[in-house]
Amino acid sequence: MNPVVLGAGPAGCTAAILLARNGARPLLIDRHAEAGDALCGGFVSWRTAAQLRQVDCDPAGLGGWPVRRLRLFADGRAVEAMLPATGFGLSRRALDTAMRAAAVKAGADFQVDHARGVAAGLVQGRNRDWSADAVFLAAGKHDVRGLPRPRKAADPALGLRVRLDGDHRLAALVDDAIELHLFPGGYAGIVRQEGGSVNICLAVRKSLLSQAGGQPLELLAQLAVRCPQLGTRLVGLSSGHRVDTIASVPYGYVTQRTDAGLFRLGDQAAVIPSLAGEGMAIAVASGLAAASAYLAHGPGAAPAYQRAFARRATRPVRTAEVIWHIAERGWGARALLAAAGCAPWLSRAAMQLSRIAQPSLVTQPWQSSIVPS
């Protein structure tokens, strides 16, 4: 039997590409025939871009917008800092479409099905059941039936996203920066993407949305008043725009264990607060590590892989979590802004601590130090 990769996003496609390149003939399954514009992941860091180029997905070649600066807003003030290197604003639709094509070109078999349940060696789909010697679970932020991730927060985080096309004023205003707008109870990230579009992604507490009557557009209107600089960016937003949402995102969760034959990738392995801009890196890194472990030691390597990846992911996830919890408080946002303005080295240190170690892709990924216990 061949391995099954469930989820054709960056994590699943990275794993499928490496498996296919090394003769494993993976089956890649996704619920959608064509890639959509996923809620999170519109920023590709400089290090992730280097990894993607090695799987024939160059963000610049896909039209990704160069991002060279970080712009931080809080309490009516702003500071700016240069990024260590150029990243890219790139929609998930563009990236996922390219990665699916790269996986198929490498030899993966792509199928459309909606998983009803997953276990080691089996994906139960609506169309049929798919047997495998190993399952690579890359279903993103959505839980799969039977494999929930714990959600313990009394006031859980929600994700919201709106994509604005054709707003030339906004595109010029954002320019080559990734913007973080901090406010009590959450933050908004804004980045320009391919074709002049602008992606606005928010992580907010459920209580904020409740105060807006559960209406995302009303919440954005309220935030535009409370945060004038964010309001300037939302001028072009109207009732005709679609706001995508996802409930109860388990930010901070890191998978510590799994069963033999079940590899958890991407957000199924570690959910980093999105203000770090490191979600895409975790996706690619987990896909690489899981495929390498399987090629080296087979399905039985899954538990050892999961423990090893958890050790790599814990520091960046915890760092981003601490920054997030500070940033969503008024005093904390002001303190972060002051620190970024007075001591730029603190911003660089935070960026470094919230990055996951990214080993280079190799031609023989089975040369891995991960061994089954």
Band (349; pLDDT cuts 50, 70, 90) = low
Q: What is the pLDDT of residues 238-260, one digit of tens each?
A: 888 889 888 878 888 999 999 99
| pLDDT tops 50 at residue 52 | yes
The pLDDT of 265-269, averaged and rounded, is 95
Q: Is 296 domain-assigned? A: yes
User: Taking a C-beta distance cutoff of 8 angstroms, is the pair 252, 271 a contact?
Assistant: yes
Q: Is 98 domain-assigned? A: yes
Considering the entire predicted model, what is its pTM?
A: 0.91
Band (155; pLDDT cuts 50, 70, 90) = confident
| pLDDT tops 80 at residue 165 | yes
DSSP reduced 3-state for 131: strand
| pLDDT tops 60 at residue 361 | no
Band (344; pLDDT cuts 50, 70, 90) = low
How many residues are given for the chain?
373
CA dist 315 → 139, 157, 224, 280, 356 (Å)? 23, 21, 34, 16, 8
Q: Is 304 domain-assigned? A: yes
| pLDDT tops 80 at residue 150 | no
Band (331; pLDDT cuts 50, 70, 90) = confident
Could you list the residue range(s) of the whole structural domain that residue 31 is in?
4-152+250-353
pLDDT at 366: 40
Q: Is 365 domain-assigned? A: no
Band (368; pLDDT cuts 50, 70, 90) = very low
Q: Is 109 domain-assigned? A: yes
> Is residue 269 classed exposed, middle or buried when 0-12, 13-18 and 19+ CB atoms within 10 A define those classes?
buried
**Average pLDDT, rounded, for the chain:** 88
Q: Which residue has the tokens 């603190």?
A: 346
Between these two residues, 60 and 273, which has the higher pLDDT value? 60
| pLDDT tops 50 at residue 367 | no
Band (125; pLDDT cuts 50, 70, 90) = very high
Q: Which of 2-6, 28-32, 245-249 has the lowest mean pLDDT?
A: 245-249
The pLDDT of 160-182, averaged and rounded, is 94
pLDDT at 108: 97
Q: How many domains does the chain have?
A: 1
Q: Is 209 domain-assigned? A: no
pLDDT at 149: 77
- The domain that contains 108 carries what CATH number? 3.50.50.60
DSSP reduced 3-state for 195: helix
| pLDDT tops 80 at residue 371 | no
Residue 204 host element (H or E) = strand 198-205
Phi and psi at residue 346, to the nearest 5° = -65, -40
The pLDDT of 202-227, averaged and rounded, is 94
Angle at 266 between CA 261 and CA 270, to 5 degrees: 95
Band (360; pLDDT cuts 50, 70, 90) = low
Q: In what order do the strands lie in the sheet with 122-125?
A: 115-119, 122-125, 129-131
> What span, in angstroms and rounded, lies between the C-alpha atoms of 302 and 357?
19
Q: Is 213 domain-assigned? A: no
Nearest alpha carbon to residue 178 among 267, 275, 273: 275
Q: Is 130 domain-assigned? A: yes
Nearest alpha carbon to residue 119 among 134, 104, 138: 134
| pLDDT tops 60 at residue 191 | yes
Return the top range by mean pLDDT from 38-47, 272-281, 311-320, 339-348. 311-320
pLDDT at 347: 63
